[in-house]
């Protein structure tokens, strides 16, 4: 921005004449640039991400190890389900899992987001929104017309996040452990 040096402090009602403007010294002010923000890349998860994914999932209360994550990624991919990661500075900082199922009562497959997590320090920066967009794009490409989200009752902040994105509470999901 350029500000005439002799106009500082001048009342807004007075205007300099042409002659005085020509002889005016101009002071250059530089705006400080914000530090560069490294972009977040959303991509499909690969086996090499297993350790980082396990580290993201454990704080959610699940006991999981990298070798199990690697095996589950492969099993999910075989049936068309996908996991996407958010990567910043070559480090995985978030993930989302998707699945699609054909049901008899709907004309198209139903997509599901069954898990999403973003590192706590990275939340509030649009990363979750970008992960959901990638999941929706993938599910739309697989023919899904509806996307559901499953989330534990105690994750109330996650529920508010999904509601801000336009998800609505439409049903109750009940579960039963078959290994008891």
The pLDDT score that the predictor gives to residue 4 is 42
pLDDT by residue (tens digit) across 17-72?
A: 555 445 544 455 556 665 556 789 999 999 999 999 999 999 888 999 999 999 99
Supply the pLDDT for residue 17: 52
| Structure token digits, residue 62 | 């699940």
pLDDT digits (tens, 9 = 90+) for 150-169: 988 888 899 999 999 999 99
Task: Write down the pLDDT at residue 38.
Answer: 74
Q: How far is the C-alpha of 136 from the C-alpha of 149, rounded, in Å?
A: 11
Q: Which positions ≥6 away from 31 have C-beta within 8 Å?
A: 1
Judge contact between 94 and 85, C-beta under 8 A: yes
Average pLDDT rounded to a whole number, residues 176-180: 90
Q: Per-residue pLDDT for 81 more than 90?
A: yes
The strand pairing partners of 118, in sequence order, are 94
**What proportion of the chain, given as a percentage, has pLDDT over 90?**
68
- pLDDT > 70 fraction of the chain, expressed in percent and rounded: 79
The pLDDT value given to residue 34: 58
**12: pLDDT strictly greater than 70:** no
7 pLDDT above the threshold of 60:
no
pTM: 0.76
The per-residue pLDDT for 180 is 77
CA dist 86 → 13, 20, 33, 126, 155 (Å): 54, 57, 26, 11, 20
Q: Which residues pair with 117 in a beta bridge?
A: 95
CB count within 10 Å of CB 2 equals: 7
């Amino acid at each position: 921005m350029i500000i005439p040096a002799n106009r500082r402090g001048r009342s807004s009602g007075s205007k300099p004449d042409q002659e005085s403007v020509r002889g005016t010294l101009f002071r250059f002010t530089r705006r400080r640039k914000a530090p560069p923000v490294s972009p977040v890349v959303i991509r499909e998860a690969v086996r090499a991400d297993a350790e980082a994914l396990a580290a993201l999932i454990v704080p959610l209360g699940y006991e999981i190890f990298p070798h199990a994550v690697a095996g589950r990624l492969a099993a999910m991919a075989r049936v068309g389900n996908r996991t996407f990661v958010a990567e910043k500075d070559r480090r995985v900082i978030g993930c989302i899992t998707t699945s699609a199922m054909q049901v008899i009562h709907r004309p198209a497959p139903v997509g599901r987001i069954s898990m999403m997590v973003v590192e706590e320090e990275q939340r509030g920066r649009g990363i979750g929104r970008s992960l959901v967009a990638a999941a929706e794009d993938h599910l739309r490409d697989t023919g899904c017309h509806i996307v559901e989200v499953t989330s534990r009752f105690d994750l109330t902040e996650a529920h508010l996040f999904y509601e801000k994105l336009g998800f609505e509470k439409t049903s109750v999901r009940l579960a039963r452990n078959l290994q008891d």
